[in-house]
Amino acid sequence: MAEELKGNGPSRTAVVDCGGKGLQAVLKTFPESEHQRMVREVEKLRYFRYLGKATGAFDVPEIYEVQDRSYLMEYITSAVPLESRLAAVGVGAMEDWSTRILAVLSTVTCPSVGTPPTWPCDADLWTTMLGKFGAAATRDVHEELAAAYCVEVTRLPPAVEGLPLGYSHGDLTLDNTIYSPYLPERVFLIDAVWSAVESPVWDVGKLLQSTAANWGGIKATGSIVPKPKWLAALNECIVDQLPYRASHALLGCACQLARVSRWAHPVPMVTLATRLLKTYNDCGGNDAECGRALRGLV
């Protein structure tokens, strides 16, 4: 019997029996319209599995079988989202974990070995991001919030210099970085989606969605909630150690919050995106001000 796992996207994930001998695997199934997305996801996961093994920065579950609308993947025993592990180890460990997480980010976004699949790399990244801002589901929030958000989107500059291109996992939240107590020296990446935007800014934004915006708290409560102490400490370390400009990271985070608001928790997500964009617009993209905003978002 399949055990369905929770998620926010169009795909469905379940733990299933495999081989009839008590073995388990993860089955991820996509709607028929999402076939191309599934193909890209499999391509990414297979490449990242190679990249992780070659560098030692992370691991990726093995993909056993691919069909038209699903793939079957290795089940990591007793795996939990990394945030569950971090909540248990205490504030004092967050600097080391920040370094480790950012090493994963750098390995994914600036791969040093192998030949990545041919993914789209949008040279006009800012235009693409503006499209994502404009697509936020403001129809699902009250008029004042929608109006405030739209004001900040229209205040954004016509161009942003220096946004880095490269590669991305596509959904690099703490949910999609998993940990098993049986393999304590390793973290596993899952759900490497084809985002249609390949840039380190995309993954930095996703990571900050988890740490700066407390995505785990939003998912659990449907509201903006303060970060627990361990997450506040982790976020502080990550913002301090970011290998990219704080202003770029802020835009990446705001873009991800606006984008995800189309599918989940539109009020808190649009509220936080609006706060970030207002800071960026008011300070003219000053990195010090943007860094402060990312530290104190919630």
Q: What is the pTM of this model?
A: 0.91
CA-based R_g, the chain, Å = 19
**Per-residue pLDDT tens digits for 36-55:** 889 888 999 999 999 999 99
Q: pLDDT tens-digit profile of 154-186?
A: 999 999 999 998 888 989 999 899 988 878 778
Distance CA 43, CA 48 (A): 9
- Asked if residue 78 lies in contact with residue 181, where contact means CB atoms within 8 angstroms, the answer is yes
Evaluated on CA atoms 228, 234, 238, 241, the torsion sign reads: positive
Dump pLDDT digits (tens) for 79-127: 889 999 999 988 999 999 999 999 999 999 988 888 888 776 677 899 9
The residue ranges of DSSP E strands in 69-135, in sequence order, are 70-74, 80-81
Dihedral sign for Cα 13, 17, 19, 22, please. Answer: positive
Looking at residue 1, what is its pLDDT? 43
Give me the pLDDT at residue 156, please.
97
Domains of the chain: 3-74 (3.30.200.20), 80-295 (3.90.1200)
Query: Where residue 278 falls among pLDDT bands split at 50, 70, 90?
Result: very high
Angle at which helix 229-241 crosses helix 82-89, to 10 degrees, equals 110
